[in-house]
Amino acid sequence: MPTGQGDVPPRHVKGNHRPPAMSPLAFLTNPATPGRKTERHRKARLAALGAGALLAIYALLLQFDMAPAWLGGGANSVSAVAPRSCGGHHQGPAVGSEYFHNRTVLYDSLSGPQEYSFLSSGKTSQSLKVSDLFEEKDGKLVPILKEQKVAVRANVLHVDRKEAHQMYQTVKRILSRYGFGDTAVWYQDPDMYHMSLWHASHHLDPVPASPREVGLEIVGVTQVTHKACPLRVSLDRVVLTSTGVVLGLWQLLSGTEPFDLRQQLRKNLPRSPETQLYDPVMLHTSFARILKGPDSRKGVGNESGNMASVLREAAEELDKELCGTQTTLSTLLYVEEWDLLALALDGRITPRLLPLRCGEPIT
Ligand SMILES: *[C@@H]1O[C@H](CO)[C@@H](O)[C@H](O)[C@H]1NC(C)=O
Ligand SMILES: *[C@@H]1O[C@H](CO)[C@@H](O)[C@H](O)[C@H]1NC(C)=O
C-alpha cells in the first residue's frame, strides 16, 4: 500500500447499480464516480433544518449512537458514564493550547451526567431503533443496510490498523468478561476505526454530487492533506454514553489542529452542509455499541444484579485500560457511504486514502 500504514481494504458493493468499491488510491487514475446530477433546493432544506439544527445534529449523533431500548430514556434509565479522564498526563507541543483546553471542557461535558438528558432527548423523529439497524441471525448480529439516495461523503481521519486492532481486542476482552456476548454488542470494525472531521454531504442535508463534483471535492481535500501534518493523539478518556456507545475521546499532542483542518475543509468544500455534525475541536472514535444487557449472569460485576453498576464498572475498566493509548493519524479518508451509517455498519463504501503530507503550514 503506497501510504505504508493506512491500508484499508475496499469493500465490495453488492448489486450492480452502484460503482464498485475502488482500491483506495484508484481515484488517481479514475476520479469519476457515478453520482446523481439532480440539484436539490438546498436552501429550503437548510431552512427546514432551521433553529432546530443543533438538536437535529445531536439527534443524529444519537441516532448514530443508537439508543438501546433497555437503556430507555425515562427517569429510571441507566446513566452509565465514565467521567474519569486520564488527561493531565499528555505531553506535546499542542498540549495546553486553547483548543486543547476547549476539548477538555467539551469532553467533561460529554462525560458528566448533565449530558445524559440531551442524549435521551435526542430520540426525536430522526432517531432509529436498534431493531431498525440490526437483526440476529445464527447467534450473530447482522446489520440491516439502508441504501442512501445521495451518498454521504465524509472526511475522516483513519486510525492506524495496528493500534486499532489492539484497542479492539481490549474492548472485546473487557466487554466479554462482563458477560456481553455476540448479540449484545456491535463492535466497530477496527480496520475502519476513524475520527470524523467533515461532511461534504450528510443525510440530514444531502448534497448531491455528479462524478465531476466528487472529483473536484477530492482535489479540494487533497489540497488540505498536502499541507496538513500527521496528528499525534492520545486517548484522553473512554465514555459509555447513555445510549450505549463506547466512545473514545482523543487529545492532540502534536500535528495539525483538527479545528484548523475543519476550517480548511470548509473552505475547500464550499458546497458542504452549513451545519456539520460535530464540535469543531472534537476528536472521537466509536469503538462499540452495546445493544442489550449481558447474555449470561456469569459476567463479572453482576453480584448485585444491578445493570447500572455492571455498565459503570465495565465503562471504568475500558477507560482505565485504554486511556493514554497513543497513535499517529497520517491518513485522511474521503469516503462515499452508499448505505446509511456504512462506516459504522460495514456497509458499502468507496474510500479514497489521502496521506497527510505536511507541506507548507495551513494559513
Ligand atoms: C474555546 O473556548 C473559548 C472560551 O469558551 C471560546 O471563546 C473559543 O471560541 C473557543 N474556541 C474554539 C475553537 O472552540
Ligand atoms: C445478574 O444476576 C442476577 C442474579 O443471578 C440475574 O437474575 C440477572 O439476570 C443477571 N443480570 C445480568 C445482566 O446478567
- The domain limits of the chain are 41-355
pLDDT digits (tens, 9 = 90+) for 211-236: 999 999 999 999 999 999 999 999 99
Per-residue model confidence (pLDDT) at position 327: 96
Per-residue model confidence (pLDDT) at position 150: 93
Q: Check whether 341 has a pLDDT greater than 50.
A: yes
Per-residue model confidence (pLDDT) at position 242: 74
pLDDT digits (tens, 9 = 90+) for 314-325: 888 999 999 899
What average pLDDT score do residues 261-284 get? Answer: 95
Per-residue model confidence (pLDDT) at position 89: 74
Does domain 41-355 bear CATH number 3.40.50.300?
A: no
- Please give the full DSSP string across 222-282, using - where no structure is assigned: HHHHHHPPPEEEEEEEEEE-TTSEEEEEEEEEESS-HHHHHHHHHHH-TTS-SS-SS-TT-
pLDDT digits (tens, 9 = 90+) for 76-127: 333 334 334 565 578 889 988 999 999 999 998 887 553 323 223 333 233 5
pTM, to two decimals: 0.75
Q: 102 C-alpha vs ligand 1 centroid, how far in Å?
A: 6
Cell of 179: 458477560
Mean pLDDT, the chain, integer: 74
Q: Check whether 57 has a pLDDT greater than 60.
A: no
Q: 19 C-alpha vs ligand 1 centroid, how far in Å?
A: 42
DSSP label at 205? B
Which ligand number lies closest to the CA of residue 70? 2
Per-residue model confidence (pLDDT) at position 310: 77
Q: What's the pLDDT band for 284 if we cut at 50, 70, 90?
A: very high
Ligand 2 atom showing the smallest separation from residue 298 Cα: 14
Per-residue model confidence (pLDDT) at position 316: 87
Give Cβ neighbours of residue 138 (< 8 Å, ≥ 6 apart).
Answer: none
